[in-house]
Amino acid sequence: MALDYPTLPGDIDHLIADDHAIVERQFQHLEAGRGNRRVLVDQISFELALHAFAEETVLYPIWTEIGMTDEHDDAEHEHQEIKETLVVLGRTEPGEQEFEQALTKLMQVVRHHVDDEEKEELPEFRQKAGPERMAQLGKEFLAAKRMAPTRPHPNAPSEGVAEKIAGMLAKPLDQVRDMLEGKKKEMATDASGLLDPQAQAIVDAHSSLGPLPFEILEPDQARKQPGPKEAVQKVMADKGLEGPEPVGSVEDIVIPDAAGGQMRMRVYKPKDAGAEALPVIMWIHGGGWVLFDIDDHYDDSCRGLTNKTGAIVVSPDYRRAPEAVFPASHDDVLAAYRWTVQHIAELGGDPTRIGIGGESVGGNMAPATVLQLAQAGEPVPSAIVSVYPVTTGEQFGESMEDAADGRPLNRALLSWMAMHAFEGQPDAAKDPRIDLLGWSREQLALMPPTLVITDERDVLRSQGQQFAENLEAAGVATTHRYYAGVMHEFFGAAAVLDKAEQAQQEAAQHFVRALGAARPAVGATPSGSTAR
């Protein structure tokens, strides 16, 4: 589901369409008979409760102001039907006749509601209210979600101040009920049934920590939530595994950032490094340019690559949005790379053997940095590894639909990240440092040998695959590895996920082929992945 007119990630109609896409994909899991039906329905109920409250308190009052009275009345009636149906689903169980009948009705009502809203009501609303209001209303929409009760309340006031007060009173009671019934610990998992057991254990562990939805929080609130690092640590603790993976040494150094200030860079060295000048890999962490730093994004990727390649791995702690919006992160990574080249002997590295890579937005900034270096006439790294990279600011490809409900990265969270990263810059997504899919053949041909890794339950899957195809078409030595049954952020989970170990081996071997190594890469050729 996508609106057939242009929007920006933080616009209220864009956010509403993201919610629609997530719920629709969950409906499809239920129709296909896969996944955990109880959890799927509980998640849908939670999402629709927040969504309805936010629409009724932010959107619908404006509809009456601008003359959309009929649309307002129809939408209110459908919301009431949805809430009443969700109450039935909440007190019955899958397999019971009343539950299954209510579920069929819910799908019918929601789909009719979404069709009307996306094809008629939201386009009319944008036209009458004005596109300049959409971003501010988007912020109010997310703020309303933070205030919303977590369960449907059909008998509550329908909209306005009275509903806000009722919602604030109902929310703590709902949260207590959610906790007592165990529902709170199910809300952040992937209930689709499409993950392999090891990957499922990780998202279940994350959900059990009770995170609030990142995509409705303010950035400072979201950064305090448990993330992928904590999820892997919990699985390791449950299995009695110790960590993190030991390396020769880990040291934080301070280097200049691109704004005249300072940033940390973490340096990982292999065991028994000796006096030999080693290859150097710059590894750039993810987090949507907003969430993580080198402390709270798990560093198992860097540790694994250090051990598997025998190389020094450096990881810059670039500035993040919204405190420093685009292109601050890109500028810092470029500055960190140039500093590394200038000071590589001090690190114990070999200036003729440098690679670059990263995960998610790090997988974007790696090739973007290479492009800038090449266009400036500077030497470029000998190899790139882009793991589930962002390659466009657009909602691109079929994965935006079939992985819209994925965890830990769903479609709504992706929009939330872009909203903050590009705040005040409506054209930022068109910049070539973001829009890698817009590169010309000549720009693509500047890339060194590149490995692109994608995964099944990831909204970024399609754009990563397309970037790999574009590179190959431009004559770049390109390898694409696709991992089924795993999710965004899987790469660093090698301690508890076999496919992450395989992906790290694949990345390490790509670097070793291009850079050489101080010692043979650890491990065998990965299996269970698909080359494209």
317, 458, 510, 529: the catalytic one is 458
Cis peptide before 327 (omega within 30 of 0): yes
Catalytic (active site) residue 208: no
192, 315, 329, 360: the catalytic one is 360
Q: Give the Cα-Cα-Cα angle 494, 499, 503 (nearest 5 degrees).
A: 80
Structure tokens at 33: 């008979």
Side chain identity at 224, as an amino acid letter?
K
Q: Where are the alpha helices (DSSP H) in 361-458?
A: 361-375, 399-402, 411-421, 441-444
Structure tokens at 491: 């790469």
What Cα–Cα distance (Å) separates residue 212 from each residue in 167, 202, 290, 445, 485?
17, 17, 16, 43, 25
Catalytic (active site) residue 488: yes
Structure tokens at 221: 């609130």
20, 51, 285, 488: the catalytic one is 488
Catalytic (active site) residue 360: yes
DSSP 27-57: HHHHHHT-S-HHHHHHHHHHHHHHHHHHIII
> Quick one: residue 274, left, alpha or beta (phi over 0 = left, psi -120 to 50 = alpha)?
left
Sheet holding 349-359, edge to edge: 249-256, 262-269, 312-316, 278-284, 349-359, 384-387, 450-457, 478-487, 530-531
Distance CA 169, CA 287 (A): 34
Distance from CA of residue 141 to its chain's centroid? 20
Structure tokens at 27: 């409906």
What residues are annotated to the active site?
360, 458, 488
